[in-house]
Amino acid sequence: MTSTDVEEIGTDAATLGELYRRMRLIRRFEERASVLYRDSQIPGFLHLSIGQEATAVGACWPLDDRDVITSTHRGHGHCIAKGLDVTEMFAELMGRETGTNRGRGGSMHIADPRKGIFGANGIVAAGLPIAAGAATAARLRAASGTGAASGTDEGDGTDEGDGSAGGDGSAGGVVVAFFGDGAVGQGMFHEAVNLAAVWDLPVIFLCENNHYAEFSPEADQHRASLADRARGYGVGYAHVDGNDVLAVARTASRLVRDLRAGAGPVLLEAETYRWHGHYEGDPERYRDATEVDTAKIGDPLLVLARRMEPEQVAAIDRDVDELIEKAVATASAAPEPDPATLYHYVTSPREAVAEPPEPAGEIFRTMDAVHDALDLELGSDPDVFVAGIDVGAGGNVFGLTRGLAAKYPGRVRDTPISESAVIGVAVGAAMAGLRPVVEVMYLDFIGVCLDQIMNQAAKMRFMSGGAASLPLVIRTQFGAGRSSGSQHSQSLEALLAHIPGLTVVMPSTPADTYGLLRSAIRDPNPVVFIENRLLYGRKGPRPASDALIPLGKAAVRRQGTDVTLVSYSKMVHNCLTAAEQLAAEGISVEVIDLRTIAPLDYETVLGSLAKTNRLVIAHEAVTPFGVGAELAAAAVREGFWTLDAPVIRVGAQPTPAPYAPSLERAWLPDVERIAAAVRESASA
């Protein structure tokens, strides 16, 4: 497809004038931002898109409130073209409270999900999986016939602000995912395009090919063309002169029309040029001034201005200049965020949930609890969907989702083996107002998708100043003791708990698994739900179908007076066994099941410590830098005057998980090691 065989865009004075006005607005915004940065009125980093205005304006020309864009670190132009207010954008760049994101995002992270702007992004290619998620939401809504649905987030944990996320989301919505030619070398590019192809998603992956990846010429980065890659993925391809806004708008209009009618994803390559360096202050030793001067001959504004009356161009220039100067003055006078608001927007406030009564129903297994919780939430909320590797027809590797794909067509979705794309889909779909539950097959595999968890899901609400809502669940499992080796046995909860914005849950019983998973799916925050695979067959009484367990609240599994023993997940059962043995020796042990790792229930732990004056923590993770270390620090600080003995930690040895059974037994904590630690504490 070329730009000559697409539908025409009007060339009347009004249309040309509006196209020119939008490009001029971007150009003047970027030029003023450059001066403000030079004068130290903008902190941090600044990446400008001067010279690339036509791709932003042309690509966004056919979009409306249904549609979503994702952007890059060089995203000001895309945001302006999609309708973001320049006064608020200047304020954001200056780090002011009136900024688009209340000064929490800055230049590289400007976003307003309420306008379908799912964010500029400081991580190269990170917006592409998120775009696939937004497109998934559009497809699911189109299939269900539902209209607009936005993720609404009331408050920020301090009763300040209100955020709502998502474009209109009604049937026919499309997504434009902007990226640069350098992003093609990223795995997230490949995962996102492949998943979009497999799921037939309404996405335009728009490459603004300015022929430089940061400081490297395009020829040094790639051997295959985008056209070659499109054929490899089985998606459409279009090429357009990225300096001709009419050509871009015509091509984009054709592609958007086709996507609204049900067509699949397409790679659109717009060739353009970046006038400034990779960032402001870039010495630009990788190119000379002659190259830049030659490129300026194709200035997108001049290309369009030649088709317009000079008087119209001059009038638009004057109006835009005046608007920009007023915007700068207003933004400059705005206040900085109050330091007292530092903790705002990290997480969304969650509804209070009462602890349910002790379950007394028929006996069921932990694996049944997972299945039943998913079944109930899928059945009661059309915005819930499940995605992951083999979760559909195969019912996942453990059979936990068996039968759900047939019961909920299209809402239990198999994915390629592409963990970054899977998590990105969850982020984008959650921002669009759905409640995704995605699966990472093993906890060990979070390493291959950590960016989407750590830099996207966990931070998006904060960086957007509360505008984004991220109601998503990442289900995964772990469990050592069956010779699964170093890459399938790790207990990595402390790594995740260290990331502000994430909730981390690790249940120990079938009833808690059911109630906590339902609470996680209903929660407005990103939750990592970690199951222990060695507990899938464990049996216990079934709770009431409406049972919910409060997130962030520990449970006292056994009352005691001599030593407080804290654990979670499968290790709780080892602790209970040890406590039973120690009771025969005259040592009364209080066993606490944390259930939620982040946020930690310090109140319950410290309350127990005040009663027993001794603390032992046991977990399956390696001992150094773990949850035990965090609780020990809290005990020494907040519980110092109640301590009668040193805090003792029991965990796996500080080595990778071994394969040989004899070594694995020596590596893992067991009942005897836990009991020995409690005896040591009791005798101190």
**Catalytically active residues, by annotation:** 419, 488
- Residue with structure tokens 């003791």? 481
Helix (H, G, I), strand (E, B) or coil at 505: strand
Supply angle C-alpha 371, 376, 378, rounded to 5.
95
Q: What residues contact 256, with CB distance under 8 A and at least 6 apart?
A: 62, 63, 67, 174, 204
Query: Do the Cβ atoms of 211 and 203 come closer than 8 Å?
Result: no
3-state SS string for 279-306: CCCCCCCCCCHHHHHHHHHHCHHHHHHC
CA distance 73 to 69: 13
* Contacts for 189 with CB less than 8 Å, ≥ 6 apart: 125, 128, 179, 183
Q: Is 165 helix (H, G, I), strand (E, B) or coil?
A: strand
Q: How many helices and strands (H and E) does the chain possess?
A: 23, 23
Residue with tokens 């107002």: 433
Q: How far apart are the first and last CA of the chain?
A: 79
| 470 and 426 Cβ atoms separated by less than 8 Å | no
| CA 215/CA 180 separation, integer angstroms | 13
Q: Where are the beta strands (DSSP E) in 342-488?
A: 363-365, 384-388, 412-414, 435-439, 473-478
Strands 162-165 and 151-154: antiparallel
Sequence-distant (6+) residues with CB within 8 A of 447 are none
> Do 371 and 402 touch, CB atoms closer than 8 A?
yes
| HSE of 268, CA atoms in CB hemisphere, 13 A | 33
- What are the beta bridge partners of residue 386? 412, 437
Q: Under a CB-based contact definition with an 8 Å cutoff, are residues 650 and 674 in contact?
A: yes
Written as one letter, the residue type at 408 is: Y
State the pairing for strand pair 212-213/216-217. Answer: antiparallel
Quickly list H helices, 100-203.
127-144, 187-199
Give the distance between the most distant pair of CA atoms in the chain.
96
